[in-house]
């Protein structure tokens, strides 16, 4: 049995988790997440300097809470794992330096984990973990990433495609902002859409022309179409995109926010489902995996299951958004070939699959 303590601070959640790995089985003992959402609501998004300062304040209490919830003492921990990238440099630094301090103080081994691998391995904390078969096609959709990944085995990733512009979560967040819905926008749109008519606004599905874009997404045209449909015409002259974006919640009086949310969501989800199902078919996948914040979306889950003939697996919502349990899970499967020790550094642009 290996007891893993993981730390995650790549964006705006300060998280610590304790996971036991016993043979192939993972047991989640504690999963503590301190969210900075309220602070970032003021800015309508993540403000990097505020994020790193808040990590500094939260990390100690979050660690203590995780140890208490897991009913464990530091000497029972066998391995420390920390997110080293990708993410905001200042945020990552807080977690990595804190983890190094623990490694030194407690005399424990430390490894660095890729945040994207963490999202993927959140699937192995679910009850369906033992049903997952390779090759699998994984749709990884979060605030910073939208990738379609072919996974042929543990640690074996081929990125088939991704977004050409905004990440899926970023598109949800920006559209929510335009509609005057609270940050983070994904859950707000998900909720508003339940009361809306998805056929009310006939937004067209963004076209990603050509075979080279068979597995790519694009969301910025859709976001602009939503803006044009809901914002009042300019008083004088042509508004720049920047000015439009700066007028959140400034809507034409006839606009039904729930209908717009439902119509936008239907198109965005349709695109994600179509490309994922196509990739799964083209590469002979045995199942479809979904991970990342946007995989908590109710319509995305329902539509993927409806359209796909393959089994579709996704984590519970708390494991879709950023957390440290997924970092511990990735550490269990990947600790043999990840960078280790006190010389470990942050990698804000770390690609999936990099081991150096």
> Minimal distance in Å, beta carbon 115 to Zn ion?
6
- CB-nearer residue toward ligand KG4: 102 or 321: 321
Query: 49: buried, middle or exposed (CB in 10 Å: 19+, 13-18, 0-12)?
Result: exposed
**Binding residue count for Zn ion, defined by CB under 5 A:** 2
Binder among 120, 294, 312, 330 for ligand KG4 (CB under 6 A): 294
- CB-nearer residue toward Zn ion: 21 or 142: 142
| Among ligand KG4, Zn ion, none, partner that 169 touches (CB below 5 to 8 angstroms by kind) | ligand KG4
Binder among 322, 325, 328, 329 for ligand KG4 (CB under 6 A): 322
Binder among 36, 91, 142, 338 for ligand KG4 (CB under 6 A): 142
Binder among 142, 163, 216, 338 for Zn ion (CB under 5 A): 142
Site for Zn ion in 295-324 (CB under 5 A): 322
- CB-nearer residue toward Zn ion: 146 or 216: 146
Q: Which contacts of 183-191 are long-range, i.e. CB under 8 A and separated by 24 or more positions?
A: 183/37, 183/40, 183/41, 183/44, 183/45, 184/37, 184/143, 184/293, 186/143, 186/293, 186/294, 186/296, 186/297, 187/296, 188/261, 189/261, 189/264, 189/265, 190/265, 190/296, 190/297, 190/298, 190/299
Q: Are 307 and 198 in contact (CB under 8 A)?
A: no
| Among ligand KG4, Zn ion, none, partner that 12 touches (CB below 5 to 8 angstroms by kind) | none
At 19, phi and psi to the nearest 5?
-130, 135
- CB-nearer residue toward ligand KG4: 79 or 118: 118
321 binds ligand KG4 (CB under 6 A): yes
CA angle 146, 116, 153 (to 5 degrees): 100
At 300, phi and psi to the nearest 5?
-60, -45
21 binds ligand KG4 (CB under 6 A): no
Binder among 4, 6, 7, 11 for ligand KG4 (CB under 6 A): 11
Query: 235: buried, middle or exposed (CB in 10 Å: 19+, 13-18, 0-12)?
Result: exposed
Q: How far is 114 from 116, CA to CA, in rounded Å?
A: 5
> Minimal distance in Å, beta carbon 334 to ligand KG4?
18
Using CB under 6 A, list all residues that contact ligand KG4. 11, 142-144, 169, 172-173, 184-187, 190, 292-294, 296-297, 321-322
């Amino acid at each position: 049995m290996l007891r893993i303590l993981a730390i995650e601070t790549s964006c705006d959640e300060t998280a610590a988790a304790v996971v036991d790995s016993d043979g192939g089985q993972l047991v989640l003992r504690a999963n503590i997440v301190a969210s900075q959402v309220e602070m970032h609501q003021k800015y309508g998004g993540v403000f990097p300097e505020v994020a790193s300062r808040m990590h500094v304040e939260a990390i100690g209490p979050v660690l203590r809470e995780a140890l208490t919830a897991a009913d464990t003492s530091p000497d029972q921990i066998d391995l420390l794992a920390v997110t080293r990238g990708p993410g905001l440099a200042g945020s990552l630094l807080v977690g990595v330096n804190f983890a190094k301090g623990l490694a030194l103080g407690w005399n424990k081994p430390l490894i660095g984990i890729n945040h994207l691998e963490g999202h993927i391995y959140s699937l192995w904390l679910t009850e369906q973990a033992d049903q997952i078969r390779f090759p699998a096609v994984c749709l990884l959709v979060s605030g910073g990433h939208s990738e379609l990944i072919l996974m042929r085995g543990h640690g074996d990733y081929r990125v088939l495609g991704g977004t050409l512009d905004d990440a899926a979560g970023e598109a949800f967040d920006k559209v929510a902002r335009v509609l005057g819905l609270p940050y983070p926008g994904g859950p707000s749109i998900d909720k508003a859409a339940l009361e809306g008519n998805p056929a009310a606004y006939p937004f067209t599905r963004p076209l990603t022309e050509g075979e080279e874009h068979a597995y790519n997404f694009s969301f910025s045209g859709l976001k602009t179409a939503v803006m044009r449909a809901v914002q009042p015409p300019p008083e004088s002259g042509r508004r720049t995109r920047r000015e439009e974006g700066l007028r959140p919640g400034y809507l034409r009086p006839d606009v039904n926010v729930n209908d717009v949310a439902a119509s936008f969501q239907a198109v965005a989800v349709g695109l994600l489902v179509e490309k994922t199902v196509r990739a799964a078919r083209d590469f002979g996948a045995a199942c479809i995996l979904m991970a990342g914040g946007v995989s908590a979306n109710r319509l995305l889950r329902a539509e993927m299951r409806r359209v796909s003939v393959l089994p579709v697996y996704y984590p519970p919502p708390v494991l879709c958004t950023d957390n440290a349990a997924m970092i511990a899970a990735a550490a269990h499967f990947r600790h043999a070939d990840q960078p280790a020790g006190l010389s470990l550094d942050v990698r804000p642009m770390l690609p999936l699959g990099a081991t150096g």
